[in-house]
Every structure is written in C-alpha cells, then in structure tokens.
Structure 1
C-alpha cells in the first residue's frame, strides 16, 4: 500500500482553515462579507474574549432555505460562481465557498437562517466540522451565525494568537474597513456585551468616516474630486501635506467595494508625497476604485487581501493624477510651498559653519579626564567667569568596564590628556572641539539622545520616570490597533512617565508625559512613539520593553530644538561625558568623531 492518501473532509477543512481563519478577525471579515453579499442593510457584530469565546454575526439579508443552509457547510459550495468564466467577472466579496466549512471545522458552530417569505427558518449545529442537529427555527428573517470555542480542537493554533487587546484591535480594524466600504449599511458592534460602535446608514462617505474616526481625523484629510481615467473611476480622501505615518495603517483602499492592499495604489501615492513627508513615511488615504470586474483578478490571495490588475501602469497613472489634482487644489499645500520657497531665499540661507563668539567658550575647556571611574576635573572657565560645577559626590558612580573600539579609545585618550576648545557648530547640530591633537566633532542631537536615555533608565530603576502633569488632559483619537497596543502596555507607559487611559471606543486621554518632552504636539509625539514600538514588536512581556520605550522617548525628545547658546552646548558636552556609554546614541550611531591633526595633514598633503 502506498504512502499517499486522500484526506478526510474534516481534516481537509481544518487544513483550509489554516489559510482562511488566521485569527478571530478573519472570521468576522468572512461572515460580514457574506452578510453584505446577502444584501443586508443592518449588521450586528458581537464578540467575547477577543472572539475566542464567541463571535456572533446577525443580519437582515435574504437568508437561506434548509437546503442552502446545509449546502453552505460543504466545501466549495457557493451561490456566486457556476463556471470558470465567472472568475473573470467577480462582483461579490466571497466566491470560493471555503469560509463557512473552514470556520465550522475549528469551532462549535451554529447558523440560524430564514428567508423573508418563509414561514419558518432553519437551525444547524456543527461541532468541529460534524453536523449534530438540523431543525426548524422561529427566528426573524435573515441570518445569524455563532462561532464558539474557536480552535478548541486544534489547541496549537491558539498558542499563536496574540493578547486579547491585540486580537480585539484586529477585529475592530476589520469592522472599520468594512463599514467604510459600505456607508449605506447600518453597523452595530458589541464587545463583552457593551456597545462600542453604532453607525447609521448614510450616502455621504465623509459622514461615515467622521462617525468612525472623529472630527479631528477627517479634518486632516483632503477630499479629491471624482476622476474617470483609463477605464477607472477613483474618488476619496488623502491626508494633508506633512501628515503621514511610518506604516500604511491609515491607508484604506477599496477596489469594487473590496478592501485590499496593493502597491499599484500605495506606490504612486508615495511618489506624489515624497517631498511632502519625511523619508519613510506614508500618506493617509481613503480611496475607492471602481472598474470592470474583468480588469481585476481577486483570486490571487488566500484571504483575498491582494488583487492583480490587468493594466497596473494605467492604474498607477490614474492614482498619481488623482493625488496631484487633489493636492494642487488644496490651499494648505500652496501655503507649504510658499513657506518652503521663502525659506530658501539667499537671505534666509543658514550658515554652514557658525562660529561661537562667546568669550566663555573661547577659553580653553579642560574637559575632565574620562578615566575608568569618572571625570575628575572641571572646565577651566574664562577669566572672571564661574567654573562649571562638578557633580556632587552622591552622583559619583563607578563606570562599568566596557570594551571600546579603536575610534572610541582614540576619543577617550584625546579627551583624557588634552585641553580642548569649543570653537563653533555646523548646521546648528554639530559642535566642533579643537585641541593640539586636531579636533572632535560632536553630534549634539545624538549626544542628547544618549543623555536622556540614561537619565530615563536611572529614573525607571528608582520606580518611575519624572513626569509633567498636563494642566488640561488631552483627548486623542487613534486607530483601533494603536488603542489595543496602549491598553496592553499602560503599566509600561506609566513607568516611563506617560499617564494615559482609554476614553471611549477610539480615543485615549493623556494626563501626563515625560518631563523631557514638549507639550506643543502631544498627539504627534504619541503617534510617533507607538509607531516606533509597534514596528519593533514591543509588548509588555518583552524583557527589554522598558529600555525600548525609554529609547524611543529619548529619541523623540531629542528632536526638539537643540541648544544654541555657548554655555548650553558646553554643558551638554560635559553631561555627555558623564554618561556610562558616551560614545554612541541609543540607535548605535556615533556621538563623537575624532579628526586628528595628523589625518588633516595627510589629507592636505602637508609635511608631518
């Protein structure tokens, strides 16, 4: 007997479920799409324990009779395709007939359905893929699906799920996408029995976006005029110039009503915004693309997240033209252009090298010798000027033994034994130190990052970082995934000085921030912090989570205005040299680079 065998139907369905049912949010997506295909005008979604204990989807769609209800549990049974040619003109969200049998194979499944004209409905109970009961039901017309004890028969799958807040965040994200794609459908959503989303049907997309994300969020968008070009109709919103994120979580792209991810749209958007956003950032977008079904292939991804266009170049050209047209008509983009042009006039050009004219800094600065213990001497100040104070004895501590690179040893030796002078700065960021040996260039921003990081870590070791309480709490609207991350990491954020709590479904309330941060734009700072940490996969269970948060806060705080006064530059350099690891910033980049006199002579071809 050979080794190859045909899998049993239940096993085959569980294998298929590995592609269709990635997590509870996948089930919500598939079942809501079925409701939309059934022409529902009202959909209710309920879930408990992030969808593991229960997911319940109810709709007022066309419903099914007894025969169709049973057939829907068979693999590859669908009402949306009949021949292979139908794949070339798919107009529904579902079409493969895999979702329901796959979901039923890994859960305790119940479906109750009734057609509007039928006197009675049908109830089917399924346990791990096996039908246990089929009976009449007196439920209202439409369909109700319940999924309980997800992955009860495949416990290994449960181990790969994230925390409850993260999984709930994915469910809410899917609901937002589907609700945005169908503003004419009413949505109600409940979590642990509490209603957190209620959307009335509307024909105005802006109203649906406002109801989902709030007035502040939609106020940051530009509405583009509907454009028809290359057989494509495109409409929607784009973010204002200067507003973006390091990920694409604020890009919502719909092709013929289907939420998708495609570089044929995100790529042209990035090209149009490349001079309007920092490097690595992506614009926000809510775009609806409508075209003939034959021009797009939806059958290229197991979860139908990606699509393939027949003419991707034409799609990219149309998206690019739509974005350029929207930005050209936006007044804020004109103001930004005028500001940029004004800043580049000759009178406003910054000096590349700015000398420091203070007599205090011009005097030799006897940088304290960087011994294995600490700095043991102070700066020699100008005549008549008070010397910089040395750290008091309680602050003195032994420096850990560290293996230094050749360049770091060179800096250490030069600073240990020489008198140096701060002679100027370059581009308002780099300080130049001169000595008999040559010079050292100090990156002031990298130096401040290192100082702030070590300060935060010391404070956190003592219990909690110093925080500044806001006079008035700040309410910030955030996407569901960000809310989920914050909820899971509130204790960590408090230890670093951020006092924050959830404030409604899509909002948080910030009451305190680290003392080193500026209060001017708390929302932007919080979003940047979340982006940095979520990209790094930082969670409360990670061993290095606290240090990662402190590193991100230090980097954000260092982005504020750098010191320009000679005394502050001098003080910053002295504080850097007191750090345990003064030679690199938290990201591992150098804080100081030595340029010995011998190297300068060599480069200029001078005699030794």
Structure 2
C-alpha cells in the first residue's frame, strides 16, 4: 500500500496560514502598520481604496531592508526578532512570528519598494499568490512602500465573505486607532478613496486622544499613573459624567500592544464603583508596562489576548491606579461638610452687591454639573495640573446654619427654627416679584431649577400606592393574559402604572411599555419605508467619529426610512434636516451621534464571529430604547389609558424588545399573603 502522508506545497500552506492571520482587509492593515512601527518609522501613511479590497498601501520612513532581507521577509517563519526559544519571553516588538508577509502574499498581489538610508538603490519585489514575479533594483526613498492589491483574488470564496465597504472600513479604522494610540511619538495619516480621514501629528498621548476622538475629550480626561516594581500603569481615564452607553472607546495596551482583557476591564469598572450611571461605560486608554517574562503573548493568532503569570496583582494595581485618579481629580462624589444637604443644587448666585453681605463661595451654582470637592482633612491637597480653587476670604461661622452657604449665597439667619427664614432675601433680588412669589420656584425664577419648591401644593391629590417587596416574584417566562375591567389607572412615582384586573392588580413598567410601543412603530417604518419626519427649522450640524460616519453612510436608507434626513457636509460631518417625529423633543445632534454609537455596539460580532443583531432590528431597538427614556414623566388620566391601550395592541405586550418583562400581575392571593405574618 502506498504512503498517503505528504508535505503540503508552500503555496497551500501559506493560504492555510493566511486563514488565521488574514481574515479581512483590517488584518492586513494591522500587520503592515506593526511592521512599520517595528522599523522605527517616524511617519506612517496608510492609503486605502474600496475599504481595502482593491488597494492597501503603507508608506513609512523606517530603516528599510537590504535586497536579501526584502526577499527573505516573504518566506514563512522568517523573522529578525527571534534567535532562540528564550527570546519568546523577551519580546517587545509587535511582530515576531514571521507569518504576516508570507500569509498576505499568498492571497494578494504585492508590490514592495524598500531602501536603507545607507544604500544608493532600493529593491523592488512583486509577488502574486506566493509566486515571485519580479525582483530588481530601483531608485526610491529611504524606508518601505508596500502595496497590497486585489486581496483574496485567488480565493474567491474568501472574498465573497467580506462585508460591505462601510463595515470593512470600520474595522480598518479600529485597527488604525489602536496602533496610533499606542505610538503617539509617530505621525500617522489615513486616506480612503483619496479622502483624508485622519492626520495625526507627533505629540503627547493626550494630544493624540483629542486629535483622534475630538475636542470634546479635552475636558473629560484625567491622568492615571501607578508605579510598582512589578508593573506600571499609566494613561488617561474619562470622567464619570462623560460615560457612554456603549463600550467602544476602551483601550488596554500591554507593552504598547493592544489587548482585550475582561479581567482588567472589571478592575477599571470596580474603581468607578458608585460614580457611573447604570449601564454606562467609561472612556479609558491605559498602558501596562511589565517585564515580558511575566506575560505570554503567543496564545492567539492575532496576539490580542495575553496571559499574565500573576493576574491578581495586575488586577489590584490597575484598580488602585484608576481609583486614585478618580479621587485625585475629584471625579467621585464626596461629602462636603461646608454645604447644607437640605438645599438643592443648581442655585442662582447672589452677588455681594445684591445682598450687602460678604461674598461666600458657592460650589453648586453651576447648573451644567458641579465638580464635587474632596474634603481636605480626608485627602489632603491633591497634586493636579489644575490650579486649586480660590477660597473665599470670608470666615465662615461654625454653626451649621451658616454652613449652608456652600449651596446658596444668600443672607444667613442665626437660627433655622423657622423654616421660612431660609428663603428670606430671595425676594429682594427680583425687582418684578413680591415676597409671596419668591417662595414659588415655578413662577419666579430658576433658583430651584426644574425641581418644585417644598411648599408647592399640587393641583390634584397625589395617588399613593404601597406594595410589598415580595410582590414581583412572578416567573419571568410566564405570560399572563389579562383584561382591564376599569379605566382607573394609578401612576406610581412616574415609573409604574397600576391597573385593576379581574385577578388582582396589573403592574406596568412605564418605560418598558413605551419602548415596546415605539419599537413597533420604528420597525413598521423600516419595513414600509414610511417613517414620519419632523423638519427642523434650523438644520443642525454634527461631527462624528470616522467609524460612525462610515456606519451612517452604510445605514442611510434605513435611517431615512425612520424619518432622519441628513446630507454630507465635509469630512465626517453631516447636516441634519429632519428627525423622526417621535423624537422631536430631543437634541438632534446627540440623538443622531448616540444612536450610531449604540448601533455600532449592537451590530458588532460576538467572540464567536456571529452578528449580535440584524441591522434593522438593532436600529429599531436602539432608537426605541433611547426615545423611551424621555417618557418617564407624570401622565394624566387620558395619557395613562392611552398608554395601556397601545401596549395591549402591540406585538408583544409582555416583554420589551430586549426581553425584559413589562407587565406583572399581583393576584388577590399574593396580595393577601403580604399581610399575613
């Protein structure tokens, strides 16, 4: 019997290796950019056509290669980084396996020009499908210029699996951002179809972040650093109030290599404990410097996953570093014993000229969001780059009554036994209102902001319902069919509706009900392409991240079906002329930008490569979830009845599009059980 085992030809072996290394155009971009960084380039230019299908070109001013090295670089497992097995534990470069160029050359047409600064002539090499076509001496600039044309030209099945240009371009931008963030000392530029997307000059990390993500990040960055003999953590974190609903702008780098690490992400989120809104994710760009002997980066083909020999120590140091930054930069709410918690924030400042009293410092007068101040006895003077706030020269009395000046600059009374004395002096600052009107925040001014004065009397009696904590223990998968027998529907805390039914009481999550109703409307608009649009009197301009800009172009038809009307206005900029009629009360720029960010999260692929949600499904869900948030408000009797009627008529009254329950029924037996000891 003949032997059946034989060695694969190099061309087939390279194509098999390319299946792991070269998954899409973004994989080629990653490998070639890392090679340029390893070549000590100070300026790197990336040129892309048709999202990398037709052309990916990298031009750098690195050290270049000799004629022999240029030819050897396309051989499998040919590398300048490894000489012995011990070198695997001392790796600080990006590439080291010697598979990238060989794998790319197996599935594309490559043309490379390279020259060392000490050489008079450079080398030109052309390869197609692992076959060497040309190698000759040419005149070229120092560095390396490599062109990858017609990716997967000889593997049509792989080419058919590529997504649309906008999707592939988003992946390219993601890889570009990661490498550019890791190396702010290198100038980067990105062009797509002759249009400049990024032009990042050399600068500090903070400058690179602002140039890449926008000027709005200038005010939200806080420096983070912690040095230990084992590991060093440094970088920038975002303030809690700037946290987003999507987890798109979070970057870990270990020895300047981008990684994904859920364990370290948990450490960062733990350091923010108590400061983040629900379901919000902070921005961070954090670098971990550690001896290469303590990590293993050779456990994943794309080298985005690594292993630490002592993950617990890295976890603890990471959490301590972020928690320290949160405290030093006053990002966490803290106790201020110089303020009176009985006063609402957002108060109107009253000047010394108006009151005739010494000027008392007010920290909560900024309606946009005050910055809490850590007490000096607890933290000492933090070392920050920002100047310390100027303290008032006025000496504060020790009494708690006058300590209320931390919230409002109003004349103080010696005693607070008479609560009306707390409001004295406010009427003198409004020349057009009397003392009686000064007590009514809804009529006189903005010193109480949107809140109502404590003494305001409601126009109609408030309906109060008290329900025990064990009342909502109905299995989530149980669908209950009920029929409302009366029109009396009670609203509880602007969050829930309680309606009597034959079997007891139905409790409805108000926000979930609106989310279900709006989802059905948006989904119908996407299906029938007849979404109602509210035209804007003054068009709004919104500038997006390049990734979101590409996503908006890809989803233009779906967004138009929902009611959005927008046109391109320069690089990464749209002018919005109309929005869906159901969202006309929101800020159009924020609605559009946040919707795209949420879509990018919902339409991403999971760790197994599967799409999380269909595009139309994700679009309807995202817009419904965002629009439902503004409906948590007081409803009159007619609005309550209309909400229940629309919910009952919806496609699934029991669950939100995300699967959360909307309704639950408290049977008479369960209610009776609440009163039994």
Give me the TM-score of the superposition, normalised by structure 1.
0.81
Tell me the equivalent position of 2:217: 217
**Equivalent residues, number:** 549
* Cα distance in 1, alignment partners of residues 573 and 249 from structure 2: 16
* Cα distance in 1, alignment partners of residues 632 and 463 from structure 2: 17
Post-superposition shift, 1:581?
Answer: 4.9
Post-superposition Cα deviations, 1:347-400, rounded to whole Å, max 9, x if no partner, equal 9xx9xxxxx9958999xxxxxxxxxxxxxxxxxxxxxxxxxxxxxxxxxxxxxx
Tell me the equivalent position of 1:426: 492
Distance change >3 Å, CA 288–CA 2, structure 1 → 2: same
Distance change >3 Å, CA 90–CA 276, structure 1 → 2: same
Post-superposition Cα deviations, 1:447-482, rounded to whole Å, max 9, x if no partner, equal 222333344455556643223334444444544433
Post-superposition Cα deviations, 1:4-50, rounded to whole Å, max 9, x if no partner, equal 22111111111111111111111111111111111111111111111
Q: SS in structure 2 opposite 1:189?
A: strand
For residues 300-315 of structure 1, what are the structure 2 equivalents within 5 Å? 300-315=299-314
Whether the aligned pair in 1 keeps the contact of 2:275 and 2:333 (CA below 8 Å) is no
Tell me the equivalent position of 1:569: 640
Post-superposition shift, 1:87?
Answer: 1.0
Q: SS in structure 1 opposite 2:103?
A: helix
1:73 aligns with 2:74: yes
Q: SS in structure 1 opposite 2:560?
A: helix
Tell me the equivalent position of 2:12: 11
For residues 525-564 of structure 1, what are the structure 2 equivalents within 5 Å? 525-526=591-592, 528-537=594-603, 545-546=615-616, 548-564=618-634
* Cα distance in 2, alignment partners of residues 200 and 605 from structure 1: 72
Post-superposition Cα deviations, 1:563-597, rounded to whole Å, max 9, x if no partner, equal 42433323433443454654544445444333343
Whether the aligned pair in 2 keeps the contact of 1:499 and 1:510 (CA below 8 Å) is yes
For residues 437-456 of structure 1, what are the structure 2 equivalents within 5 Å? 438-456=504-522
Post-superposition shift, 1:493?
Answer: 0.8
Tell me the equivalent position of 1:284: 283
Greater strand fraction, Structure 1 or Structure 2 = 1
Post-superposition Cα deviations, 1:133-162, rounded to whole Å, max 9, x if no partner, equal 111111111111111111111111112211
Post-superposition Cα deviations, 1:465-504, rounded to whole Å, max 9, x if no partner, equal 2233344444445444333322210110111122344555
Whether the aligned pair in 2 keeps the contact of 1:358 and 1:566 (CA below 8 Å) is no
Show structure 1 runs of 5+ residues with no match. Answer: 351-355, 363-404
Tell me the equivalent position of 1:118: 119
Tell me the equivalent position of 1:207: 207
Whether the aligned pair in 2 keeps the contact of 1:53 and 1:148 (CA below 8 Å) is yes
Post-superposition shift, 1:116?
Answer: 0.9
Post-superposition shift, 1:549?
Answer: 2.5
* Cα distance in 2, alignment partners of residues 447 and 236 from structure 1: 42
Tell me the equivalent position of 1:497: 563
* Cα distance in 1, alignment partners of residues 670 and 266 from structure 2: 45
Whether the aligned pair in 2 keeps the contact of 1:230 and 1:315 (CA below 8 Å) is no
- Root mean square deviation, CA, Å: 3.5
Distance change >3 Å, CA 544–CA 577, structure 1 → 2: same
Post-superposition Cα deviations, 1:399-443, rounded to whole Å, max 9, x if no partner, equal xxxxxx99543x13xx3xx33522x33332112223675322222
* Cα distance in 2, alignment partners of residues 344 and 111 from structure 1: 67
Tell me the equivalent position of 1:137: 138
Q: SS in structure 2 opposite 1:559?
A: helix
* Cα distance in 2, alignment partners of residues 542 and 253 from structure 1: 23
* Cα distance in 1, alignment partners of residues 632 and 461 from structure 2: 21
Tell me the equivalent position of 1:249: 248
Distance change >3 Å, CA 474–CA 341, structure 1 → 2: farther
For residues 356-371 of structure 1, what are the structure 2 equivalents within 5 Å? 358=460
For residues 20-31 of structure 1, what are the structure 2 equivalents within 5 Å? 20-31=21-32
Tell me the equivalent position of 2:274: 275
Distance change >3 Å, CA 337–CA 281, structure 1 → 2: farther
Post-superposition shift, 1:239?
Answer: 1.4
* Cα distance in 2, alignment partners of residues 482 and 490 from structure 1: 12
Whether the aligned pair in 1 keeps the contact of 2:189 and 2:199 (CA below 8 Å) is yes
Tell me the equivalent position of 1:86: 87
Whether the aligned pair in 2 keeps the contact of 1:227 and 1:322 (CA below 8 Å) is yes
Whether the aligned pair in 2 keeps the contact of 1:173 and 1:480 (CA below 8 Å) is no
Whether the aligned pair in 2 keeps the contact of 1:197 and 1:505 (CA below 8 Å) is no
Distance change >3 Å, CA 317–CA 579, structure 1 → 2: closer
Distance change >3 Å, CA 506–CA 210, structure 1 → 2: farther
Greater mean deviation of Cα atoms: 497-506 or 303-312: 497-506
Whether the aligned pair in 2 keeps the contact of 1:73 and 1:101 (CA below 8 Å) is yes
Greater mean deviation of Cα atoms: 163-172 or 508-517: 508-517
Tell me the equivalent position of 1:188: 189
Tell me the equivalent position of 1:263: 262
Give me the TM-score of the superposition, normalised by structure 2.
0.73
Which of 525, 529, 532 pairs up with 1:466?
A: 532
Whether the aligned pair in 1 keeps the contact of 2:542 and 2:593 (CA below 8 Å) is no
* Cα distance in 1, alignment partners of residues 546 and 102 from structure 2: 29
* Cα distance in 2, alignment partners of residues 138 and 198 from structure 1: 27
* Cα distance in 2, alignment partners of residues 120 and 66 from structure 1: 10
Whether the aligned pair in 1 keeps the contact of 2:525 and 2:561 (CA below 8 Å) is no
Whether the aligned pair in 2 keeps the contact of 1:165 and 1:485 (CA below 8 Å) is yes
For residues 288-437 of structure 1, what are the structure 2 equivalents within 5 Å? 288-334=287-333, 358=460, 408-409=480-481, 411-412=482-483, 415=484, 418-422=485-489, 424-434=490-500
Greater mean deviation of Cα atoms: 99-108 or 182-191: 182-191
Tell me the equivalent position of 1:147: 148
* Cα distance in 1, alignment partners of residues 135 and 322 from structure 2: 54
Greater mean deviation of Cα atoms: 116-125 or 518-527: 518-527
* Cα distance in 1, alignment partners of residues 650 and 90 from structure 2: 65
